[in-house]
Amino acid sequence: MGTTLYIFAWSLVFSLVLGIFCGIGRTTNVRWVRALSVGYVEIFRNIPLLVQMWWAYFGLQQVVNAAINDPLGLRILIPSTFACILALSLYTGAYMGEVVRSGIRSIPRGQWEAATSSGLSRAQTWRHVVLPQALVIVIPPMASEVLNIIKNSAIAMTIAITDLMFYSQKIEEETFAGFEAYTAGTLLFLLLTLLAVGAIYLVQWLLGLKVRTAG
């Protein structure tokens, strides 16, 4: 449970940061930033997460060692937890970027013009007018991506991370009590997602928003 929560926490932080910057990049007038953001979204949304996780663990290690090419034959090992968090963050960040983009696009053009006419710079308009509203708007759809981080972390066992699914499988192999082991793992994942939904409802309530389901 601790490993699963650790992966979830760091992946959530990094994917949120990536999503916000990507969402802004998708709506900016700077062409190269917009092109970079579009490329990131299209690449990481269209490659299965399992493939990305395997590449982050096995492929990245090969690339790094090939680049270093140590004459003594020393090799750098990529920690499996790092690879999992990297893959989950990049994958989820692409989806969060689209959510943030839709939130920014929902802000009426008149508010941009009003902010500009009142003397605010473009950066100040983003900071004080657009982003505060957009981030509140995207809380409900963003909640689905937060829950997906928890659910998608279940495949971390494929790169030998000792999470809930890893131990469920280990118990099944040692005791042949597969039904009991995987049922317990299922219930623990359900508990985590319900706690996350509760936290999201609390945030919405504190912000004075109408509580809606994550779906």
As a whole-number percent, the residues of the chain with pLDDT over 90 amount to 33
pLDDT of residue 201: 84
> What parts of the chain have a pLDDT lower than 50?
211-215
Summarised one tens digit per residue, pLDDT across range 162-211 is 888 888 888 888 888 888 888 988 899 999 999 988 888 888 787 766 54
Q: Which amino acid is at 102?
A: S
Query: DSSP character for 59?
Result: I
Alpha-carbon distance of 95 to 93, in angstroms, equals: 5
Q: Which residue in 181, 108, 93, 190 sits closest to 142, CA to CA?
A: 93
Torsion of CA 140, 146, 152, 153, to 10 degrees: -160
> What is the structure's pLDDT at 214?
39
pLDDT of residue 210: 54
Spatial separation of the C-alpha atoms in residues 114 and 112, rounded to whole Å: 6
**Which CATH entry fits the domain spanning 2-159: 1.10.3720.10, 3.40.50.720, 3.30.1330.40, 3.40.50.11540?**
1.10.3720.10
**pLDDT of amino acid 116:** 80
pTM across the whole model? 0.83
User: Could you count the other beta carbons within 10 Å of the beta carbon of residue 5?
Assistant: 15
pLDDT of residue 140: 81
Q: Are 84 and 53 in contact (CB under 8 A)?
A: yes
User: Which residues, other chains included, contact 176 with Cβ-Cβ below 8 Å and sequence gap of 6+?
Assistant: none
Geometric angle at alpha carbon 176, from 174 and 182, rounded to 5°: 95
Q: Is 44 helix (H, G, I), strand (E, B) or coil?
A: helix
